[in-house]
Every structure is written in C-alpha cells, then in structure tokens.
A and B are shown apart, each in its own frame.
Chain A
Amino acid sequence: MNRITPALERLVAELGKLPSVGPKTAFRQALYILETDAEIADGLALAVREARSKVKRCKLCYNYTEEERCSICADQSREQGTICVVSGIGNLYAIERSGEYNGLYHVLEGNISPLEGRGPSNIRLDELVSRLRGEETVKEVILATNPTVEGDATAMYVREQIKSLGLSLKVSRIAYGLPVGGDIDYVDDLTLSRALSSRLEM
C-alpha cells in the first residue's frame, strides 16, 4: 500500500494541515515542491522559517510587525485619537485596503463564543482596556467586529466595558451596509433591514 516515500508522505500530511487544502491539493502541491527548481523549494522553506522567527505582534495594537511597533502605530501622521477594534488581523487588512481609515487599531483574538470556549478574558480585551486607561489621547473607539452573532456580542461587551471605565470616549459601531455595486434585489432581507435601520441622513 505504501506507494509514496515517507518524506513525501510527511510533506503531503503537513500541507494538508493548511486551511482550505484538501488531500488532493496537498498531494499536487507536494509534487510541485519536489519537481520544481531547487531555489523555489528552498525559498519556500526559508520564507516559512523567516516569517515564523521575525514576525511578531505589535506591543500596542497586536497587528503583525517585525519591530517593536507596527508600521501603523509608528506612523505619526495617523490620527492618534481613534482606535478601530477588529476581530482579527484579516479585518484590519480589509479596512486598510479600503484606504478610508486613518486611525489606529486594536486587534482582538477572535470574538467571544462560549461554544468555542472563548470568553472575554481570552480575546485580548484587557489589553485594550489598559491601553484606553493609559492613553488620554484616545477620543473615539470604533467597533468593527464581524456582523455575526458572536461579533455583535463582542461589540456589545466591549462597549459596556468601555462605558464602565467612565472616560469621556465616543464609542461607535460600524454601520451595517449594503455591498456597493450589488443589486438590492439580491441582498438578503436581514442585511437590507439592518442597512435601513442604520441608514444615514443625506
């Protein structure tokens, strides 16, 4: 039954652990790694090791960085008075790509979700609270957690925590919107009713 060598088998198994990689894809990728130029394979191995050793969390906002502070926190031209709270690093990059936001971030480690065993103490909330306590420059916190049940619960929890600090802070939740360029006919009813209730005056 053992038609592939142990080392190849191991590579397939490791690749198969990556998100959205099934056994077939893992096998194809493994073959590619074996058959391609040596530099490409070595480059991949090196990149993996380097990323693991150099990339760490920003001490302030928990974005990724290779320095003490990430490029966003280090950028003095960004508005120091606004912190946008996101559920994960992917959301930070999405907001950055939009180019619309020029403040700082706080990256949570997911949302609270009892079913997955995550409570408020597991998602880097204490770090946000002590940051708000320590920095008087912060005037507004924007809650941009995912519009899921868990993201909403997290936003509500964070809002209450911030309120209980008694600081003069504005707390807002990003509006539930419609996908731009989408046809209203094809938007599901809940998105539509939420977009309506968080409508903006023109």
Chain B
Amino acid sequence: MKIKYLRLNDFRNYKSCRLAVETRLNVFLGQNAQGKTNLLEALYFLATARSPRTNSAGDMVKWERAEAGISAQLEGLAGTNEVGFVIGKDGRKKPYLNRKLQRRVSQLVGVLKAVFFMPDDLALIKGGPSERRSFLDAGLSQLTGAYLSRLSRYQRVVKQRNELLKKSTSGQVAPDEFRAWDEQLAEFGSLLTVARWQAVLSLARHAANAVKRISGECLEVRYRSSFLGELGPEDGSRLEELKSQAVRELARLLPADCRRGYTSLGPHADDLAVYLAGKELRSFGSQGQQRTAVVALKIAMCEYFHEVSGEYPLLLLDDVASELDERRRDYLLDCLDGGAQVFLTATEELSGNIRLKGASYYSVKDGRIEKLSPGL
C-alpha cells in the first residue's frame, strides 16, 4: 500500500502542509527540531489512531490552535481511499473515511497500515513486558478489526474484575459475581492469546531469518501465555477447550487475586520471550545484539503484514542512521527492496549514510517540506 498525498493542518509545528508523494522511497532531511519525527507521527496516527510518543492526542494540536486536521490518500489492494482525523485540543478524535465522518475511531484503524521504527525502540527488548505486548497489539489491531474490539472489551473486563477484587477484601462480594466476569475474561482472553500466539509463530520465523542474515546468530522468539502456558500447533482450533482451561485457572487463582487486588493472569500479563543463541536477550545480550533483534522484529512485522493482508505496510523509519551501525543499517536498507513504501528521516550530517536508488529527497525546515531536486 502506498500514500499518494498527505495533508497536515495545525499539526505539531506544521501550519499547513501538502505533500504529493510520488515514489516508494522517501527521505526527509533536516536539522534537529524541524518536524521530521512529527511527520512520521502523523502518518502513524492515521494508521493506528495513536501517537507513538504521547497518550494525550491533544498534544499534537499546534500550540494556540483549537484543532489539528490530518489526512492521506492511499492506494492499495482495497483501492483508493482517503483517511483523515480531526483532533481537538481536548484529545477528541473525529475519524473520516473518504471525507465521511465515521461513528467509531476503530473503523479507521488499519485502513492505512504502518510499522514505525524509532530510536526508542530498544525498549522492545530492554523494557518491560508491556512494550512487547504493545508491539504485538499495534500490529494485530491494524490487521483485524475484531482484534482491536476484543482487546478493548477485554481491557474493560479486566478493569471491572480488578475493581471487584479490591471490593472483595472488605468482604461484600458474592463469589458467583466473579464468574460473570471470568467467563468473558476467558473468552476474549483466549481469543487474544491465540491471535498473538499465531502472529508470533510467523514473526519468529521472519525475525530469525533476518538475524541470521545480519549477524549469523540464532534468534528465537516465543509467546509466553500466563494462563495457557506454551501453546502447540493444534491449539488454534481448540478455542473452547482453551477457554475452559482459562476459566479454571482464573478460579484457581481467585484467592490470590483477591489478596493482591488485581487479576494476575491473562493477555495483559503475557510476554514475548526473545532468546539469542539460547540465552535470554534482555538479560544477556549486548547493546548491538539487542539492536539487531529490534531491527529484525520490525522487519518481521512488515513481512507478517504482507503475509496476512497481501501487501506491505508503510515503513516509517525515524532517525535510523544515528541509531544503527553500518551493517545493520545496510541490512535494513536492503530489506527495503522488498516493496514497502518507506518514509525515512535523517539529520543532514548523517544523510551521506543513506543512499537509496530511486528515492525522493525532501528538506524539512521549521514545519515546511520542500522537495529537493534530484542530485542533491
């Protein structure tokens, strides 16, 4: 899938920006604090309705302005579509598909698909489990609408159940009240678990290939389910069984959960285990090895999108030249021949490191984008 046209109004430091995109590879050069990351943020927001850097959408509205408007025209297997958001200072998001206001934000998620790679992403290995869960959720939510709705229902159930657990310490909760929540927790929980687990099977394969090519090492990635343990190849078709297993586990741990005041099992407590040469990468890997794994996981996510949807997502690469050494960068740039449309940013000093055949180059300065003539 490819973007043909992008429009930003009062978004971050952009006042009014219109950008026609004609090529697959697009490189944005500029000094610090000129709006390079902001541009990628807008594209990612159009795909996921979330910002990679803030949870309060209102921050993205240009200072002193009431609302921001962003939209993009895209072309893909589903034809030509225009996705857009109007974002209020108060964080309210109005989603537009082909200029028609949609009822739910979720209806827009995944119409445009994108994978984001930025310097902070080392947290994917070094950070806590929630970083790795978000990585999976961001991908899966774009690929299936049902995943996103199940995830938000699931999160609501967990919140309700945790509240009930807190109340139970003062002894005013009948035990059968938990069952009403446990059943839904188990239903949505096992669906999410299986979806993530299936995605990880494929991600693991692609990521292992990538690491083998970059460093020759052996990468292993496994999904760790807190209430279903390690899943086997047939488990995708045993949903009912998995659900009852989850219900039993929840009941078994209810006394402990009551004491803690929160739900200890479920997709919200799961993790992605990453091993290099048999050792947990998070605790034993070098910085370089960890960086390699992050590149590999991001590339793997692009491949997974392709596998599931038949087309590559946009690949948004923020400041990768500063972050990666030559070898990893070259590998990443090599992979770009795969077919994804790429938006890549770099500061001018590092632009020499990025040479891409057939790419368009743009300069980003103080919230304005200009196409540079070829040869620059």
Q: Is the interface of A mostly helix, strand, loop or mixed?
A: helix
Q: Which of A114, A150, A188, A190 contacts B164 (CB 8 A)?
A: A114
Verify if B126 is at the interface (C-beta below 8 Å from A): no
Known: A119-B173, A189-B149. A156 touches B164 (CB 8 A): no
Q: Report yes or no: A114 in contact with B160, Cβ–Cβ below 8 A.
A: yes
Verify if A160 is at the interface (C-beta below 8 Å from B): yes
Stretch at the interface among B36-44, B150-158, B281-289, B357-365: B150-158
Q: Report yes or no: A112 in contact with B180, Cβ–Cβ below 8 A.
A: yes
- CB contact list, B151-183 vs A, under 8 A: 153, 156-157, 159-161, 163-164, 167, 172-174, 176-177, 179-181, 183
Number of interface residues of A (CB under 8 A): 21
User: What number of residue pairs across chains A and B have CB atoms under 8 A from each other?
Assistant: 58
Q: Report yes or no: B145 in contact with A153, Cβ–Cβ below 8 A.
A: no
Q: Which residue of A lies closest to B154 (CB)?
A: A149
Q: Which residue of A lies closest to B168 (CB)?
A: A114
Give Cα A87–Cα B108 distance, bound, in whole angstroms.
Answer: 30
Q: Which of B149, B159, B167, B180 contacts A154 (CB 8 A)?
A: B180
Q: Report yes or no: A152 in contact with B184, Cβ–Cβ below 8 A.
A: yes
Chain B residues lying within 8 Å of A114, measured Cβ to Cβ, are: 160-161, 163-164, 167
Q: Which residue of B lies closest to A191 (CB)?
A: B149
Q: Which residue of B lies closest to A160 (CB)?
A: B176
Q: Which residue of A lies closest to B147 (CB)?
A: A189
Q: Which of A113, A161, A186, A188 contacts B160 (CB 8 A)?
A: A113
Verify if A172 is at the interface (C-beta below 8 Å from B): no
Chain A residues lying within 8 Å of B144, measured Cβ to Cβ, are: 189
Q: Which of A157, A188, A189, A192 contacts B180 (CB 8 A)?
A: A157
Verify if A18 is at the interface (C-beta below 8 Å from B): no
Give Cα A152–Cα B157 distance, bound, in whole angstroms.
Answer: 10
Q: Report yes or no: A149 in contact with B184, Cβ–Cβ below 8 A.
A: yes
Q: Report yes or no: B177 in contact with A189, Cβ–Cβ below 8 A.
A: no
Give Cα A154–Cα B160 distance, bound, in whole angstroms.
Answer: 12
Verify if A16 is at the interface (C-beta below 8 Å from B): no
Give Cα A115–Cα B149 distance, bound, in whole angstroms.
Answer: 20
Q: Report yes or no: B163 in contact with A115, Cβ–Cβ below 8 A.
A: yes
For the A-B complex with A154-B180, A156-B179, A189-B149 known, give 14 more contacts whose Cβ atoms are closer than 8 Å: A112-B177, A113-B160, A115-B159, A119-B172, A120-B174, A120-B177, A149-B153, A149-B156, A157-B177, A189-B144, A189-B146, A190-B146, A190-B149, A190-B153
Closest 3 CB pairs of A and B: A189-B145, A190-B149, A189-B146
Can you list 8 A-B contacts (CB < 8 A)?
A: A114-B161, A114-B164, A115-B160, A115-B163, A119-B177, A157-B176, A157-B177, A190-B145
